[in-house]
Homo-oligomer: A and B are copies of this chain.
Amino acid sequence: MTSQNPVFIPGPTNMPEAIRKACDMATIDHRSSVFADLLHPLRADLKRVLKGDTAEVFLFPSTGTGGWETAITNTLSPGDGVLAARNGMFSHRWIDMCQRHGLDVTVLETPWGAGLPADRIQEALSADKEHRIKAVLATHNETATGVVSDIAALRRALDAAGHPALLLVDGVSSIASMDFRFDEWGVDIAVTGSQKGFMLPPGLAIVAFSPKAMAAVETAKLPRTFFDIRDMAKGYAAGGYPYTPAVGLMNGLRLSCRMLLDEGLENVFARHHRIAEGVRRAAAAWNMPLCAVDASVESDTVSAVRTPEGFDSTKFVSHAAQSYDMAFGVGLGEVAGKVFRIGHLGSLTDAMMLSGLATAEMAMVDLGLPVKLGSGVAAAQDYYRQSLAQQRMAAE
């Protein structure tokens, strides 16, 4: 059922064998001290990965979507104002969730491919004299378009407007792969999952609350039980959980954090940048622009590659899957049929990435796209070997 090839979807990502073995764990008693001995150091490690000394970290047997719901239901009340820019499918879905939970969302429509518009957000906040907006939603990395946004700029926008809204950040496809600074950026809630930068199977939502967000929990009126962090916090204080925890995934996440921290977060980010840059050079060699409008918003975890006008990019993804047993990401929403996506996050080597690029080339040529076999590979090889040589020299 599984392939020997790596996957190049933008998550779930390829899993290191050691992490898979850590997840594949025999049953323990989750009400025993063995569990507490796992839980507390894990939460501490996650704060380090988030660069969030002030954060309270919660883990739910769920996904990033559940993390979003945790963020809004624990801090907001029906009718509360929320401000969000829509620049892709994932920002869209979070907005949709808010609307379905009875929040009053002000949507700033933003071109797909552009980053979140800090200036327009500042404007909207400044205009909100009565502070009806209680939260600003921000998708750090739009997985649909391969666009990373500047969260520090959003914080500056909030501060410049002198607005007390909470800053809620979706870091599902950025955290543990690209720099994320919970404390420094004044993030109030960060949401992520197990299945991207943490290189685990899906099944865990990871949510971090600032002290200000913790304070908002007391007055939030949206109903919640499964995602209620008050139950979770009470459980943690007693070394336990309000229901059955996903122990194996938590054990794997512990190892993942240790691997990330042992490698060094900055090294992890640099590694993602290297791999990503090779992919971008390959796309350039193919004469295919990225969905990202300029280099400043290019994501180091996923690239959305625009295929020529008139070509259905979904065909490429199907053909690569059927003929070469290799998974790339389809375009979603507004860019469906117009882009295909190459995920380059998590556990990847140069060789794995080159196998993805080489296979993409074969599939594109099969479908008549004007791509020269080996051209993108050569561009990536050239970058990989030179950057590696520089690393070696720097290390000497």
The chain A residues found within 8 Å of chain B, CB to CB, are: 1-7, 9, 11-17, 20-21, 23-32, 34, 38, 61-66, 68-69, 78, 96-97, 100-102, 193, 195, 201-203, 222-228, 242-249, 251, 321, 323-327, 329-330, 347-352, 354-356, 358-359, 361-362, 365-366, 372-375, 377-378, 381-382, 384-385, 388-389, 392
Contacts and interface: CB of A to CB of B under 8 A. Distances in A.
Given A32-B321, A225-B101, A201 B247 contact: yes
Contacts of A202: 61, 244-247
* Copies of this protein in the complex: 4
Contacts of A251: 1
A154 B339 CA distance: 55
Please indicate which of the listed interface residues A223, A247, A373 has the most CB atoms of chain B within 10 Å of its own CB.
Answer: A223
Contacts of A11: 244
Nearest to A376: B374
Given A244-B193, A378-B373, A65 B359 contact: no
A1 B247 CA distance: 11
13 contacts: A3-B28, A4-B6, A4-B348, A5-B352, A6-B351, A7-B27, A61-B202, A65-B225, A201-B248, A324-B349, A355-B355, A358-B377, A362-B384
A374 B385 contact: no
Nearest to A25: B2
A320 to B, nearest CB: 10
Contact of A13 (B27, B223, B246): B27
Contacts of A32: 321, 327
A20 to B, nearest CB: 6
A316 to B, nearest CB: 14
Given A66-B62, A202-B245, A226-B62, A27 B15 contact: yes
Contact of A222 (B21, B28, B63, B223): B223
A351 B388 CA distance: 22
Give the top 7 A-B pairs by smallest Cβ distance, nearest first: A374-B378, A29-B327, A374-B374, A355-B355, A2-B26, A354-B358, A65-B243
Contact of A29 (B7, B31, B78): B7
Contacts of A365: 381, 385
A7 to B, nearest CB: 5
A177 B226 CA distance: 25
A97 B224 CA distance: 8
A181 B243 CA distance: 26
